[in-house]
Amino acid sequence: MKYLHLVWASLFRRKTRTLLTLVSIIAAFLLFGLLDAVRTSFDQAGHSANGAQRLQTGSKLSFIQTLPQALHARMLMVPGVKDVTYANWFGGAYQDPRNAVFSLAVAPNYLDLYPEILVSDAERKAFAATRTGALVGERLVERYGWKIGDRIPLQSTIFPNREGSKDWSFDIVGIMRSGDQKNSAFFDQMFLLHWKYFDETTPYNRGQVGWYVTQVNDVNQADRIAQAIDAISANSDHETRTQTEQAATAAWMKQLADIGLIVGSIMGAVFFTLLLLSGNTMMQAVRERTNELAVLKTIGFSDFSVLAMVLAESLLLLVLGGLLGLALASVIIPIVSANSGGMLKLPPVGAGSWTLGIALMLLIGLLVGALPAWRAMRLNIVDALAGR
Amino acid sequence: MTKLIEIRDLSKVYERGKQKVEVLHSINLDIEQGDFLALMGPSGSGKTTLLNLIGGLDLPTGGSITFEGRRIDRLPAGALAKWRAAKVGFIFQLYNLMPMLSAQRNVELPLLLTKMNAAQRRRNASIALGLVGLADRAAHKPTELSGGQQQRVSIARAIVSDPMLLVCDEPTGDLDRHSAEEVLALLRALNSDHGKTIVMVTHDPKAAEYASHTLHLDKGTLVEQAAAAAA
């Protein structure tokens, strides 16, 4: 500890350079904190369904595999199940393929299971009564200037209609608002159409649904119910996997890409760059201080003391920046989650992330400091004082 | 007077690429405790090399250096560093202070190698700064001090751990006459009042006048010895 002021003063000898390096380290560890939260969120999703009011059942094979609509009645018979609804992905685009509209073909009771979607009774009745009717999120309405009564052309990215065209038309009969901006703001951007209309119109879908959503009576029985639902289709050609909605989303993402690999690759690149950047800073810092290090040795600091001081400097730089970065991530993660409208539920920076983060700080600090510390240790006093 | 340093048949050869340069040749020298010795000579005569060997910054190629009866030329690097910390104070031409530390912190540096606590270190450094007349400049960084003041801080750093030997390499070489005289007077006081043994390399005959005696080096040999040998 008695060397701390010396190490600190040496570190901030060139304030601008050290601060810029520190900012890079903070940014790298902020990114680490955020990405590790994403990875942890995907890892943790679906470990247990208990506590979840709604379960989602999809094909065990892949999210693009559909399930028979006949399962609906059998799932309703599972003890503990309160209600079951279903939906298909429609995947529409408005006017331009780049204007993707998050659209689902849903069962008549879909809104019963999502009380957080607010639709007036009159509009719900209008939706039930209109075969080509659609319920549209209010942010979509604002974005495209739509209103109730408009007939909206949507181009499906996958499904043709009976004429073989992918151009579909829907009548807006109601507007959806989110009753819980914190957890379900994304409903504001959804577009719901009738599953029956969809099923009867596209030749691609005959009595198939994309996934089921089950409401349970007792959240503590969710695991058991999930197993019972999956048991219905066991050893069939349409085996299912039932999990929480969050876990299902994570599973979809995992099928699209290996999140762990992506996160690992990004972090690898970030830390490799950090290694070069902070390594360069340390090398320059030591090179500039050759004379000062020689003076320390002259007055009696041993080779090992000088080595330890340079290493301590490098560790201090990394640990300082790393802790600030992770602390910043701890602050930002809840804000990101709160403002995602329920799309992202990132866990806080946990003990595991802190431990891994601190281990990375120490490892990078040692790697970065090793070469300059070695050079400082081997410094020849006479040559260094003579400027050779 | 007690013999503090005994140098026998000392030689130093530097290798510059394939070339070997003998910088010091068969030096014999005794330095008594409380001596104030000035080493003079032209550039390249080996003054600084001899000073570095006496201060334990370098090791000789041949011969021996004995300090208080102990061969320092045989000490391993770690032990030599400890010996320097305990026995020698260094004063350089260009002061060699840490630019990012205050005068007080610069003076405290050698005390970091002792078992003193922070309060003791602070107190001793303040006393040393007081001795060189810079108690009121303790908080100033080197860039905020004049050359003469910086050199006095470096003297305070050299004496703070109470070494027996002060090794000075051109201590006034970068100072104006007035500051140089202040520094030299200070060195003389440290020698006469505090019993410090001082070995000083200088080009300046006026600086050498402050020493109790002067030796001249030329081409790696002590001129006085060469003359005696010739006689």
Q: What percent of chain B has pLDDT over 70?
A: 97
Mutate to test the interface with A, among B16, B83, B112 (most CBs of A within 10 A): B112
A209 with A304, same domain? no
Structure tokens at A201: 């119109």
The full DSSP string for A97-152 is TTSEEEEEEE-TTGGGG-TTEE--HHHHHHHHH-TTEEEEEHHHHHHHT--TT-EE
Facing residue for B98 by CB, picked from A12, A292, A381: A292
Residues 40-59 of B with CB under 8 A from A: 52, 55, 57-58
pLDDT at B127: 94
The DSSP secondary structure of A15-61, one letter per residue, reads: HHHHHHHHHHHHHHHHHHHHHHHHHHHHHHTTS--TT-SEEEEEESS
Task: Name the residue range of residue B94's domain.
Answer: 3-230
Quick check: A256 pLDDT over 80? no
Contact across the interface for B77 and A302, Cβ inside 8 Å: yes
Note whether residue A349 is domain-resident.
Answer: yes
In this structure, what token pair is assigned to residue A341?
């409208």
Q: Which of A161, A194, A383 is nearest to A293 (CA)?
A: A383
Mean pLDDT of A12-29: 91
| Count of pairs with CB atoms under 8 A, one residue in A, one in B | 65
Residues A338 and A78: their CA atoms lie apart, in Å, by 35
CA atoms within 13 A on the CB side of A6: 27
Three-state secondary-structure class, residue B29: strand
Claim to verify: residue A212 and residue A143 sit in the same structural domain: yes
Q: Render pLDDT for A315-362 as a digit per residue (tens, 0 to 9).
A: 999 999 999 999 999 999 888 877 766 566 778 888 888 999 999 999
The Cα–Cα gap between B135 and A270 comes to 50
Q: Which helix (H) or strand (E) holds A349?
A: none
- Residues whose CB falls within 8 Å of the CB of residue A25, separated by 6 or more in sequence, listed in order: A274, A278, A317, A318, A320, A321, A322, A325
Nearest-angstrom CA–CA distance, B34 and A10: 37
Instruction: Give domain status of residue A315, yes or no.
Output: yes
Structural domain total, chain A: 2
Amino acid identity for residue A5 in this structure: H
Q: Are residues A70 and A20 in the same domain?
A: no
Q: Is B135 on the interface with A (CB under 8 A)?
A: no
Output the domain CATH number for residue B41: 3.40.50.300
For A344, the token pair is: 């992202």
Mean pLDDT of chain A: 87
B36 Cβ partners below 8 Å, 6+ apart? B187, B188, B191, B197, B198, B200, B210, B211, B212, B213
Q: Are residues A131 and A33 in the same domain?
A: no
pLDDT at A3 over 60: yes
pLDDT of residue A330: 92
Whether residue A87 is found in the same domain as residue A213:
yes
pLDDT at position B231, please? 56
The last residue of a domain, from among A208, A238, A268: A238
Average the pLDDT over A122-151 and give the result.
93
- Taking CA–CA distances from A293, the nearest residue in chain B reads B98
Closest partner CB to B113 (pick from A5, A295, A301): A301
Which one of A5, A299, A378 would you mutate to disrupt binding with B, by most B Cβ within 10 Å of its Cβ?
A299
**Domain closes at, from A207, A238, A269:** A238
Q: A12 to chain B: which residues are within 8 Å by CB? A: 100
Q: Looking at the 3D structure of chain B, how many domains does it have? A: 1
In angstroms, the separation between the Cα of residue B87 and the nearest Cα of chain A is: 10
Greater confidence, A63 or B204? B204
Q: What is the mean pLDDT of residues A253-278?
A: 81
In a domain, A254, yes or no: no
B96 has which bridge partners? none
Nearest C-alpha neighbor of B61 from the set B14, B7, B5: B14
> Does pLDDT of A186 surpass 80?
no
Are the Cβ atoms of B105 and A382 closer than 8 angstroms?
no
Among all residues of chain B, which has the CA nearest to that of A10? B100
Is the distance from CB of A173 to CB of A187 less than 8 angstroms?
Answer: no
Could A385 and B92 be called an inter-chain contact, meaning their C-beta atoms sit closer than 8 Å?
yes
Q: Please report which helix (H) or strand (E) contains residue A248, including its range.
A: helix A245-256
pLDDT of A189 higher than 70: yes
> Residue B24 in 3-state DSSP?
strand
Q: What is the DSSP string of B84-108?
A: HHHHEEEE-TT----TTS-HHHHHH
- As a whole number of angstroms, the distance between CA A25 and CA B188 comes to 52
CA trace torsion A120, A126, A130, A135 (10° rounding)? -20
ipTM of the complex: 0.91
Instruction: Write out pLDDT tens, residues B65-89.
Output: 999 999 999 999 999 999 999 999 9
Q: Does B114 touch chain A (CB under 8 A)?
A: no
Structural domain boundaries enclosing A317:
4-45+259-385
What distance, in Å, lies between the first and last C-alpha atoms of chain B?
27
Q: Which residues of A are less than 8 Å from B81 in CB distance?
A: 297, 300-303
> Dihedral angle at the C-alpha atoms of B94, B99, B103, B106, nearest 10 degrees?
-80
Enclosing H/E stretch for A336: helix A303-339
Q: Do A299 and B78 touch (CB under 8 A)?
A: no
Q: Quickly count: other Cβ atoms within 10 Å of residue A181's Cβ.
A: 15
pLDDT at residue A185, as a whole number:
61
**Residue where the block lists tokens 């340390």:** A282
Rounded Cα distance, A77 and A380, in Å: 84
Kindly report the pTM of this predicted structure. 0.71
Full strand arrangement of the beta sheet holding B36-40: B88-91, B165-169, B197-201, B36-40, B213-218, B221-222
| Cβ-based contacts of A303 with chain B (< 8 Å) | 77-78, 81
Report residue A166: phi and psi, to 5°. -90, 5
The model's pLDDT over A210-244, given as tens digits with 9 standing for 90+, comes to 999 999 888 888 889 999 999 999 989 899 999 88
Is-contact B91 B172, C-beta < 8 A?
Answer: no
Do the domain assignments include residue A363?
Answer: yes
Determine the Cα–Cα distance for residues A85 and A245; give it in Å rounded to an integer: 13
One domain for residues A159 and A288: no
A295/B96 Cβ within 8 A? yes
Q: Is B86 on the interface with A (CB under 8 A)?
A: yes
Please give the pLDDT value at position B229: 58
Q: Could you give phi then psi for residue A67, rounded to 5 degrees?
A: -125, 150
Residue A303 has its nearest CB partner, among B77, B86, B112, at: B77
B141 interfaces chain A, CB cutoff of 8 Å: no
pLDDT in the model for residue A14: 86
Q: Which of A7, A295, A304 to mutate to test the interface with B (most CBs of B within 10 A)?
A: A295
Q: Please report which helix (H) or strand (E) contains residue A206, including its range.
A: none
Burial of A88 (0-12, 13-18, 19+ CB in 10 A): buried
CA distance B82 to B226: 35
Produce one character per residue of B39-66: b if its CB has 16 or more CB atoms within 10 Å, e if not: bbbeeebbbbbbbbbbbbbbbbbebebb
HSE-up of A138 (CA within 13 Å, CB side)? 11
| Per-residue model confidence (pLDDT) at position A255 | 60
Residue among A2, A12, A291 minimizing CB distance to B96: A291
